[in-house]
Amino acid sequence: MNAATPAGSAGSPGASTIVTIPLNDPGEGLTEAEILEIKVAVGDRVEINAAVVEVETAKSAVELSTHVAGTVVAILVAVGDEVPIGAGLIQVDTAGGPVLAAAPQPAAPQSNVAVPAPSQPEADPSAEELAMQATDAAATASAPSATATEEPKNLVGYGAQATPQRRRRRLAEQAQSDDGQQVPIGRILAKPPVRKLARDLGVALHDVLATGPEGTVTRQDVLNAQQRAYGGEVDGDYFPEESPQAPEGLGGAMKSTRDQPFSGVTSDDRTTRVPIRSVRKRTAEAMVASAFTAPHVTVFNEIDMTSAVQIVNQLRASREWTDVKVSPLAVIAKALLVAIRRNPEVNASWDEANQEIVYKHYVNLGIAAATPRGLIVPNLKDAHLMTLRELAEGISELARTARAGRTSLRDTRDGTITVTNYGVFDIDSGTPILNPGESAILGVGAIKEKAWVVDGQIVPRKVATLSLSFDHRLIDGALGAELLRDVSAVLEDPSLGLVWG
């Protein structure tokens, strides 16, 4: 973050300066981002470059920091908010003075909301109310002739409806809907595994009824929210840590067991509506642009992968490779790079603005990754210069950072050709869509044991289907078929990689 909007100035000795930290574009050309986590609370002391908010962008989760030091006096957003670029996130008193005093409030309605000890301000359900009051006071102080009856100034990036009023209504509804056991919460408390589970299931944490200590969202709370959304039984032990898929059984009887409202569920319980946001939104835009810009052609080839699988098994058993996670995908990537070397014309892009075909002398190899946030395609820079070991290590690292939501913007730019492995989902073949700006994408199906004819004899072999989609403006059918044939040849006889590579 590199900008701030002063909400006050040091007009006299000892006067504090309130600085509004806005949401700046992390570099992806965004217009908005979703708030995933607020890492500070009112009253916290922050230093320069301290992470204050985590947002979800088009590619990953990004921590945003402050470029000023001071005391947090107001939090202007809530978890789950879609915040436009330029809108304020937090306000910091750069003079390091005391937190703005909260105005006396009338007694709140009686409820059973747990109130933690003062030593835990981040869990205090009144912390957000204090933030709203501090925001109102800071905005009023910025007006030269403001009076007690005037409306506070709008915050930077917000419209006529003041955000603090909207959050105040949410807190009021929280108190009125309390049933003594479960309460919806404004500032969401949940451990990272619970947040991940909610993202995997598509459950919005701010719509979950929290039953944990001091209003903490538990794993069971998230599962209950999923059950209320879809009806039926939910197996709490079904979800493997690496699986983003919904549990079995949700496609059965749709009789609702909801006793509380769940965001997005229609009144007849027949549909659920979820806003299109972040990675899913950007992926949709990119795929539509690609499908209706580049004329796609897809060719297929079923091949014998037995020799390639044997190489993978030998490497896994080798002491020199014990620290490397080697997979068939690394061998397939190497075969594709060898084939590109033999057919360099495929490594190109179509420049519509300049009416040119750009032939590239490097390969930035994209690896399509399915993540809980959606599909992203980070790429290995200069993959044509990598050894098989470097490819294996690079693919593992891209997969790890993608699953963690930490893919950098640089890793998603300037790809040339992509590999997508839908075989991990036990799918035999498909017609992949090009990543925008790229010339081709190789799809890899599941490797299965099948009957295969070898030297006139039917024998069991490891067989897979490869599919190659390409931009027909750049690649003619003969060239596309030649590329796929060469990839297939290297995988069937890996020794060709030594001759051609």
Identify which of 422, 397, 421, 432 has the alpha carbon closest to the alpha carbon of residue 411.
397
Catalytic sites, residue numbers: 472
Beta pairing partners, 38:
53
Pairing assessment for the beta strands 417-421 and 440-444 based on DSSP bridges: parallel
Q: Which residues contact 218 (CB under 8 A, 6 or more apart)?
A: 190, 194, 210, 211, 212
Tell me if 104 sits within 8 A of 31, measured CB to CB.
Answer: no
Beta pairing partners, 301:
466
Tell me if 40 sits within 8 A of 21, measured CB to CB.
Answer: no
Long-range contacts of 36-41 (CB under 8 A, 24+ apart): 36/61, 36/79, 36/195, 37/79, 37/195, 38/75, 38/77, 38/78, 38/79, 38/187, 39/63, 40/72, 40/75, 40/90, 41/72, 41/75, 41/121, 41/122, 41/127, 41/187
Report CA-CA distances (Å) from 380 to 224, 343, 403, 417, 493: 41, 20, 16, 10, 25
Check residue 455 and give left, alpha or beta (phi > 0: left; psi -120 to 50: alpha). left
What number of residues does the chain have? Answer: 501
Tell me if 440 sits within 8 A of 403, measured CB to CB.
Answer: no
Q: What is the DSSP letter of 467?
A: E
> d(Cα 237, Cα 247) in Å, to the nearest integer?
10
The H or E element spanning position 128 is helix 127-141
Pairing assessment for the beta strands 440-444 and 457-471 based on DSSP bridges: antiparallel
The pair of structure tokens assigned to 47 is 């230093």
The pair of structure tokens assigned to 44 is 């916290």
> d(Cα 79, Cα 186) in Å, to the nearest integer?
8
The pair of structure tokens assigned to 430 is 């498909």
Identify which of 398, 394, 400, 490 has the alpha carbon closest to the alpha carbon of residue 442.
490
> d(Cα 384, Cα 379) in Å, to the nearest integer?
12
> d(Cα 349, Cα 81) in Å, to the nearest integer?
38
Tally of CB atoms within 10 A around 192: 8
Residue position matching structure tokens 């930290």: 21
